[in-house]
């Protein structure tokens, strides 16, 4: 089983991203679940979502304590939340950042997901939406395929900028 933990802030699209990742994995022929975890919903509050992907049925429906991959949509969370907790040494972090970042003992893959959202004007109430671009990053890493990511996005969003965000992230990530 491959387990992902997504750290974001309310309004960035972390919960939606988890749901889209699970759907894309399903389109890739896998079993998948997406589970959000948050307290009082409010824009800007730290949010965690979990995705499990497996070739066989998934019977676990709880928080991911030891992820194979951590996605961080808001880099300020690195200083306020232990986003690396439970990630094995050498584990992968997909970080929303326009600049390379080193986290000792971990493989860090960066993509300027915020920049992509701003260029494509994927913004609601002043907040860039990062949910669809993160799928492109995960496709580049090999978690899902780009075709399944685009299919999951197109099924949930009619605006073609959402698919374009995934394609731009895919092109930007150096995996």
What per-residue confidence (pLDDT) applies to 131?
96
* pLDDT tens readout for residues 61-92: 889 999 999 999 999 999 999 999 999 999 99
Q: Sign of torsion, CA 82 63 13 26?
A: positive
* CA-based radius of gyration for the chain: 15
Q: What's the predicted TM-score (pTM) here?
A: 0.95
Q: What tokens does 9 get?
A: 């802030």
What per-residue confidence (pLDDT) applies to 41?
61
Q: What is the mean pLDDT of each run of 10 residues along the chain (175 residues)?
A: 96 95 98 86 84 96 94 96 96 96 95 97 93 98 98 98 98 86
What per-residue confidence (pLDDT) applies to 39?
66
Q: What are the structural domains of the chain?
A: 2-172 (3.40.920.10)
Closest CA to 170 of 156, 152, 143: 143
What per-residue confidence (pLDDT) applies to 20?
98
What per-residue confidence (pLDDT) applies to 44?
81
Cβ contact 150:133 at 8 Å: no
């Amino acid at each position: 089983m491959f387990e992902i933990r997504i750290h974001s802030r309310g309004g960035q699209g972390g919960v939606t991203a988890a749901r889209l990742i699970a759907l894309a994995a399903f389109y890739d022929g896998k079993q998948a679940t997406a589970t959000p975890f948050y307290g009082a919903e409010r824009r800007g509050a730290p949010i965690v979502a979990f995705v499990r992907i497996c070739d066989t049925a998934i019977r676990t429906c709880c928080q991911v304590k030891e992820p194979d991959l951590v996605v961080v949509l808001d880099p300020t969370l690195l200083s306020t939340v232990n986003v690396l907790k439970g990630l094995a040494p050498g584990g992968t972090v997909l970080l929303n950042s326009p600049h390379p970042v080193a986290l000792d003992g971990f493989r860090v893959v960066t993509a300027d997901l915020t920049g992509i959202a701003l260029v494509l004007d994927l913004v609601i109430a002043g907040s860039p939406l990062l949910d669809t671009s993160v799928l492109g990053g995960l496709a580049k890493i090999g978690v899902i395929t780009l075709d399944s990511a685009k299919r999951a996005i197109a099924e949930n969003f009619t605006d073609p900028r959402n698919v374009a965000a995934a394609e731009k992230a895919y092109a930007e990530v150096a995996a």
